[in-house]
Structure 1
């Protein structure tokens, strides 16, 4: 099968820095900054709808956002939690619908459920939407912090091998920040490794040197936006002038134009 433009971004000279949006305005604003691909973030989509993240509660909201963004002139990858179902065929059908509205990638997390079940979901997605780039996420480091590190490492290797064999196009290990472990993982993999950027972890140039091919921002931008709003309102309340970058009313209105890159 030919390499898609989105897959090709994982094999460029620099890692794909994938910022994560939560609505039309945030996605279009990021596209205007020159990012060729935009991801979504399940936490922000859930929070904006008043729903919990990671509980399969935002299937409809996720599909609506994909419908809104899939026709825009940037490459869209959708955070679909665990596929919003434990039935691989239902996950495959959801992925088919994402691809039909223009998404080119999907992020699927295992939530530390059975590896064989997650592998079945990956395989179902590749059958239903062969051109969709499947980024298979394991939560061994994200949710397994209380385990012995060696056990976590070996469980990570086992799961990633299973997901790759099921057809994953890339793999994602959020909360892994140890440069030695990242480099070791890159050396073992034959697919692109995605790492979640952490302000306390390696910089993007350092991750590039380690061989990471994709760096996601997850919910960081959304949480920073909330933090900036809180800082601004407390500054105003306390008689200070808010600092930082503030788009004008016209800037935000312009994001509704059909071509964010024009």
Structure 2
């Protein structure tokens, strides 16, 4: 990486870190392709993430089984040219060996990516051994120190409502000690548990937005510093597109008001075209 690219990435990393503020959590929308990412930037979002489910399903592949490395890297490198920090969901790292995950992180940094989301959930519904995950995080931060590593633990998705809060705390503390810049606990909605997690580590806590969970203002009061939309935007977009097509087919009122024109959609690519 050239000294110029290093400086640019360090600036993006610092900018992204600064967006994780107490009392004003970063709302991170998750895109699944260039168009959705560019449209979110145009709307005014300060940073963009990617959704592994959206990337996988758009490619006709299942999520969470490590089969979308190529698509994920291609998207991450492509949208890194957007004028905001970009965080890429790399599932479990698309590799078993820590050094291979670290090499992926270094590749994304060279492209200008500001952060990654790294999960400890496995395809079989179990959790990765915490010690192994610690080794991956440490290797990733050593290879890419200017990459914001958001360490996700799937304790609540694996254990459901009966998930062990103690185990969650143990894992996020271990991941932080290994060098993680932030910690992510999707599936937790209990306010007392969220408050405990916020106080368990000095790393910014990331919560997955849920329409049935606490709203943004309440999460801010609890100390959450990042709120991700996950695959929600992708799923709603698919539903909305199908509903519109069905309305047209059934001679019903088609609610297409506000959709970008052809020229506006084309401009999204032109505005962020690589030099």
Do the two structures share a fold, i.e. TM-score over 0.5?
Answer: yes
Q: 2:148 aligns with which of 122, 129, 133?
A: 133
Secondary structure at 2:271 match in 1: coil
The equivalent of 2:260 in structure 1 is 247
Residue 238 of structure 1: CA displacement? 1.9
CA-to-partner distance for each residue in 1:148-172, whole Å, 9 max, x for gaps?
Answer: 34xx211111111111111111000
Equivalences for residues 6-25 of structure 1 within 5 A: 6-11=16-21, 13-25=23-35
Structure 1 residue ranges (4+ consecutive) displaced by more than 6 angstroms after TM superposition: none
TM-score of the two chains, using structure 2 as the length reference: 0.90
Q: 1: CA distance between counterparts of 2:217 and 2:142?
A: 36
The equivalent of 2:61 in structure 1 is 51
The equivalent of 1:174 in structure 2 is 186
Residue 101 of structure 1: CA displacement? 0.4
RMSD over equivalenced CA pairs, Å: 1.7
**1:89 aligned to 2:99?**
yes
Secondary structure at 2:252 match in 1: coil
Structure 2 residue runs of 5 or longer lacking an equivalent are: 1-9, 122-126
Q: 1: CA distance between counterparts of 2:272 and 2:115?
A: 21
Q: Aligned residues, how many?
A: 257
TM-score of the two chains, using structure 1 as the length reference: 0.94
Residue 86 of structure 1: CA displacement? 1.3
